[in-house]
A and B are shown apart, each in its own frame.
Chain A
Amino acid sequence: MRQPSAQRGAPRQRRAHSASLLRSAIVIGVILLWEILVRIGVIDGDFLSAPTEVVRAMADLLGDPDAQEAFRRTGSSILLAFVMGTSAGLFVALALGASRLLREAFLGPIAFVLSTPKSIFLPIFTLIFGLGGMSAAAFGAFESFFYVVVNVIGGLGLVEQRHLKVADAFGARTVHRYADVILPAALPGIFAAFWYGIKHAFLGVMIAQLWASDGGIGPLIRTYSAALKTDYVLAIVLLITIVAVVAGALWTRAETRMNRWRSTGAATVATI
């Protein structure tokens, strides 16, 4: 006999709590083991700094004006890459979504470029834009553009003809068709597009800055790596990870809020 849902909920909550404890215990255990292995000399501290040193380096970085300037430059490059890549991607996706001819002509090539490693194009961006922040931003925009296009088109595929028919029957103008039917229906794809847009803008900017750049986090990592300051390198990686995790959590929260009308996950768009 099946138990009532309230009774089934209690063990599930206990299990989730235990899983959370187990996860935290493993992370703390690994950090402790790492610290001990560095302290007793099993791991060479020059190549892998102890966690306590990484935390100390992080505090130094947060108070260092040069590091702050590097983070600011990388942040603005990512933002610029995201804005450029997402705007262009949205515009192209809406154009492809509106025209079957354009879709048949260009979706194939876009999907092809999406599947190729785009870092092979990086030297072209460096040649055109030089070593400044614009080069990294342009490459980040290029990285994100294709993901935005494909995900927005996937979202547009969720728009149902019957809803457009209702809109027409109730006197919707073009602006209403977009605002009241197309955009809400395509929202999962648009959210996925924005998320992949920011993720790949970040990736593109970091790759470009690590490859060749005169400012930002990339050169900072290169400098610390060359000087074997692994504690600083790991501190930067940790800071980036914290920012990414917090951004991801906030994004998921916003997406859940915007899509709260969906009672099931059946209509979520496949993302690449």
Chain B
Amino acid sequence: MTMNIESVTLTYERAKGDPVTAIRDIDLEVRRGEFVSLIGPSGCGKSTLLHCMGGMLRPSSGRITVDGEPITGPKPSRAAFVFQDYSLFPWRSVVDNAATGLRFAGVRKAERRAVAMKQLELVGLDHVAESYPAELSGGMQQRVAVARALAMDPQIMLMDEPFGALDEQSRRRIGIEMSNVLTEAEKTVVMVTHSLDEAIFWADRVLVMGKGPGRIVREFVVDAPRPRRLDFMTTASFDTLRAELFGLLEGAPEEVVAP
């Protein structure tokens, strides 16, 4: 599986009617089994690009293909989303939430629940399958959201600040757990994040986006095998990369912020 993004630009109209270019001339290739992090200042179009990759937004120009097939709309078996706010359906049990996409795809109840249970086992939540989301912590709800995406057996996982709503400790713990799960499942992942540590820890490549309009300004390769252990964050290579990213995002705003 290879996703190709070719000269993608997305322009939309503000409420007043004036046009705004959210992202311009994005070129990117995401290869099978690769983890890619998108990082950049607020409003640089990271989420917009992710939504274009998942077919939730249609680019104004350029094209996105997966193995040559153009993306024209959402197709969860190709690209499944994990959103920041989990967005589980509170009226459905955990297992039924995990089976949501399969239900929409017309899979029979017994079969979809069996698949959902398998994914819940993978994220360590099979024991709360019949609970409702309100009974779970934020971290558990996000793991259900990951199970919901995994249940579709997607070629690519699109994660939009998936751990942004969690406290620092849960974020790190669940981030490591989920990174291991997705590595073992041999998934391709594109993740939007604001956290430097998360961007480096997760990714094979970190793409830094600038804004005005959104574009990719730098690419960093994280040369360390996955799955990674927590002590990877204490290595010299991690520190060096982190300092470089920090310098780019905080120290040289003209490169990242100005057009």
Contacts and interface: CB of A to CB of B under 8 A. Distances in A.
Contacts of A14: none
A261 B74 contact: no
A114 interface: no
A184 interface: yes
A166 B100 contact: yes
Contacts of B135: 263
Interface stretch (B85-93, B214-222, B229-237): B85-93
A162 interface: yes
Contacts of A185: 91
Contacts of B209: none
A165 B148 contact: no
Size bracket, chain B contacts: 20 to 34
Interface in B39-54: 54
A263 B100 contact: no
A173 B74 CA distance: 11
B238 interface: no
A176 interface: yes
Contacts of A169: 54, 56, 74, 76, 80-81, 83
B134 A261 contact: yes
A165 B87 contact: yes
A184 B89 contact: yes
Given A170-B76, A171-B75, A176-B104, A261 B87 contact: no
B105 interface: yes
B104 A167 contact: yes
B74 A180 contact: no
A171 B104 contact: yes
Given A180-B103, A184-B91, A165 B83 contact: yes
Contacts of A56: none
A263 B133 CA distance: 10
A114 B101 CA distance: 41
A163, A165, A261: which has the most chain B beta carbons within 10 Å? Answer: A261
A173 B90 CA distance: 20
A170 B134 CA distance: 21
Interface in A161-196: 162-163, 165-173, 176, 180-181, 184-185, 187
A262 interface: yes
A181 B89 CA distance: 8
Interface string B83-117: 10101011110000000110111000000000000
A168 B56 contact: yes
A261 B90 contact: yes
Given A169-B56, A171-B74, A263-B134, 11 more contacts: A165-B56, A165-B87, A166-B83, A167-B100, A169-B54, A169-B76, A170-B101, A171-B75, A176-B104, A185-B91, A263-B135
